[in-house]
A = this chain, B = another copy of it.
């Protein structure tokens, strides 16, 4: 799904294609990593300084409703946003903040087990799994 597809989707859902929407989408595409709303605003303002943080929030929310964007919470900071490409799980180190991305497949046996035992379907995208990376584990001991 490229930029035009998304903008078409926006129109299809009754929304308008505006400068802000365009610019916000572009910066999400360019910034291949997870970025916060504040960071999106920063990128967008390089070209359009008038675009307001609240507009960024409103657009991110709408793009999320359309399934184009997802947000994830790492540790205690602000939420981070990224394009919904392939689903993966995030591991974030509570000590150094490093983020690892793990294929969903690794989680599958566990998710099936939970489904079987509790009839509960885990959605592992929304919050990161916390823990400690190898480097910090070694440093702590």
Q: Which residues of A contact B (CB under 8 A)?
A: 73, 91, 93-94, 100, 102, 106-107, 109-110, 113-114, 117-124, 126-134, 137
Contacts and interface: CB of A to CB of B under 8 A. Distances in A.
Given A106-B117, A123-B131, 9 more contacts: A73-B127, A93-B120, A100-B118, A100-B120, A102-B118, A106-B114, A118-B134, A122-B130, A124-B129
Q: Say how many copies of this protein the assembly contains.
A: 2
- Per DSSP, are chain A's interface residues mostly helix, strand or loop, or mixed? mixed
Contact of A129 (B91, B102, B127, B137): B127
A91 B130 CA distance: 15
A102 B118 CA distance: 9
30 contacts: A73-B127, A91-B114, A91-B118, A91-B120, A91-B122, A93-B120, A94-B126, A100-B120, A102-B114, A102-B117, A102-B118, A106-B110, A106-B114, A106-B117, A109-B109, A109-B110, A118-B133, A118-B134, A119-B137, A120-B132, A120-B133, A121-B132, A122-B131, A123-B130, A123-B132, A124-B129, A124-B130, A127-B127, A127-B129, A127-B130
